[in-house]
Amino acid sequence: MSSKQRKPWINWLLFVATIVVVFILGLLAASVTERKHEAATAYKPVVKLSEWEPRNEVWGENYPREHQSYRQMSDTTFSSKYNGNAMIDMLEVDPRLVVLWAGYGFSKDYNQGRGHVYAVTDLTNSLRSGGPTNEKDGPMPATCWTCKSPDVPRMMAKDGIAEFYTGKWARLGAEIYNPIGCGDCHDPETMNLRITRPALVEAFERNGKKIQDASHQEMRSLVCAQCHVEYYFDKKRDGKSAYLTFPWDKGMSVDSMEAYYDEIDFTDWTHKLSKAPMLKAQHPGYEVYLTGIHAQRNVSCADCHMPYRTEGGQKFSDHKVQSPLNNVANSCQVCHREETAELISNVYDRQTRLIEIRDKLEELLVRSHVEAKLAWDKGATEEQMKSILTHIRHAQWRWDYVAASHGGSFHSPVEIGRVTGTGIEKAQEARIELARLLAELGHNEAVEYPDITTKAKAQAFIGMDVEKLKSDKQKFLKNLVPKWNEEAKKRQESWSVIKVETKE
Amino acid sequence: MSSKQRKPWINWLLFVATIVVVFILGLLAASVTERKHEAATAYKPVVKLSEWEPRNEVWGENYPREHQSYRQMSDTTFSSKYNGNAMIDMLEVDPRLVVLWAGYGFSKDYNQGRGHVYAVTDLTNSLRSGGPTNEKDGPMPATCWTCKSPDVPRMMAKDGIAEFYTGKWARLGAEIYNPIGCGDCHDPETMNLRITRPALVEAFERNGKKIQDASHQEMRSLVCAQCHVEYYFDKKRDGKSAYLTFPWDKGMSVDSMEAYYDEIDFTDWTHKLSKAPMLKAQHPGYEVYLTGIHAQRNVSCADCHMPYRTEGGQKFSDHKVQSPLNNVANSCQVCHREETAELISNVYDRQTRLIEIRDKLEELLVRSHVEAKLAWDKGATEEQMKSILTHIRHAQWRWDYVAASHGGSFHSPVEIGRVTGTGIEKAQEARIELARLLAELGHNEAVEYPDITTKAKAQAFIGMDVEKLKSDKQKFLKNLVPKWNEEAKKRQESWSVIKVETKE
Task: Write out pLDDT tens, residues B261-289.
Answer: 999 999 999 999 999 999 999 999 999 99
ipTM score assigned to the predicted complex: 0.89
Partner-chain contact A297 B436, CB within 8 Å: no
Enumerate the residues of chain A whose CB falls inside 8 A of the CB of residue B440: 439, 444
pLDDT at residue A337 tops 60: yes
Which tops the pLDDT comparison, A363 or A115? A363
The beta-carbon neighbor of B436 closest among A353, A425, A444 is: A444
* B429 to chain A, closest Cα gap in Å: 7
Q: Which of A297, A392, A336, A59 is nearest to B296 (CA)?
A: A336
Partner-chain contact B364 A425, CB within 8 Å: yes
Three-state SS at B278? strand
Whole-structure pTM value: 0.91
Partner-chain contact B360 A425, CB within 8 Å: yes
Task: Give the confidence band of A19 by pLDDT, cuts at 50, 70, 90.
Answer: confident
CA–CA–CA angle B397, B103, B432 (5° rounding) = 50
* B326 to chain A, closest Cα gap in Å: 22
Beta bridge partners of A245: A232
What are the two backbone dihedrals, phi and then psi, of residue A316, each rounded to the nearest 5 degrees? -150, 160
- B45-49: average pLDDT: 91
Q: At what angle do helices A413-440 and B413-440 cross, to 10 degrees?
A: 0
- Residue pairs between chains A and B whose CB atoms are closer than 8 Å: 113
In this predicted model, what pLDDT tens digit does every residue of B394-448 receive, in sequence order? 999 999 999 999 999 999 999 999 999 999 999 999 999 999 999 999 999 999 9
Partner-chain contact A346 B293, CB within 8 Å: yes
In this predicted model, what pLDDT tens digit does every residue of B128-175 receive, in sequence order? 999 999 999 999 999 999 999 999 999 999 999 999 999 999 999 999
**Angstrom distances, CA of residue A129 to CA of A109, A110, A122, B31, B124:** 10, 11, 10, 80, 72
| B187 touches B194 (CB < 8 A) | yes
pLDDT at residue B1 tops 50: no
Dihedral class, residue A292 (left if φ above 0, else alpha if ψ from -120 to 50, else beta): beta
The beta-carbon neighbor of A354 closest among B350, B414, B440 is: B414
Residue type present at position A456: A
How much is the pLDDT for B503?
Answer: 56
CA–CA–CA angle A11, A15, A18 (5° rounding) = 135
Beta bridge partners of A269: A278
How much is the pLDDT for B38?
Answer: 59
- For an interface test with B, which of A414, A440, A443 has the most B Cβ atoms less than 10 Å from its Cβ? A414
pLDDT at residue B80 tops 60: no
Cα(B296)–Cα(B299) distance, rounded to whole angstroms? Answer: 8
The beta-carbon neighbor of B356 closest among A338, A353, A418 is: A418
| B100 touches B369 (CB < 8 A) | yes
How much is the pLDDT for A503?
Answer: 56
What are the two backbone dihedrals, phi and then psi, of residue A72, each rounded to the nearest 5 degrees? -60, -20
- A136-141: average pLDDT: 96
Partner-chain contact B354 A418, CB within 8 Å: yes
pLDDT at residue B388 tops 80: yes
How much is the pLDDT for A129?
Answer: 96
- A453-473: average pLDDT: 97
pLDDT at residue A5 tops 70: no
> Residue B395: in which H helix or E strand, if any?
helix B382-404
In this predicted model, what pLDDT tens digit does every residue of B209-266 receive, in sequence order? 999 999 999 999 999 999 999 999 999 999 999 999 999 999 999 999 999 999 999 9
What are the two backbone dihedrals, phi and then psi, of residue B190, each rounded to the nearest 5 degrees? -100, -15
In this predicted model, what pLDDT tens digit does every residue of B345-368 receive, in sequence order? 999 999 999 999 999 999 999 999
Q: Which of A293, A205, A153 is nearest to A213 (CA)?
A: A205
Task: Give the confidence band of B314 by pLDDT, cuts at 50, 70, 90.
Answer: confident
- A343-350: average pLDDT: 96
Q: Do strands A243-245 and B232-234 pair parallel, antiparallel, or not at all (unpaired)?
A: unpaired
Residue of A nearest to B293 (CA): A346
What are the two backbone dihedrals, phi and then psi, of residue A124, each rounded to the nearest 5 degrees? -65, -40
DSSP 8-class letter at B229: S
- For an interface test with A, which of B424, B429, B434 has the most A Cβ atoms less than 10 Å from its Cβ? B424
CA torsion sign for B473, B479, B482, B487 is negative
Say which residues have a Cβ less than 8 Å from residue B232's Cβ, sequence separation at least 6. Answer: B244, B245, B247, B261, B266, B268, B282
- A212-232: average pLDDT: 97
Partner-chain contact A349 B414, CB within 8 Å: yes
Three-state SS at B232? strand
Enumerate the residues of chain A whose CB falls inside 8 A of the CB of residue B414: 349-350, 353-354, 413-414, 417
Cα(B140)–Cα(B169) distance, rounded to whole angstroms? Answer: 5
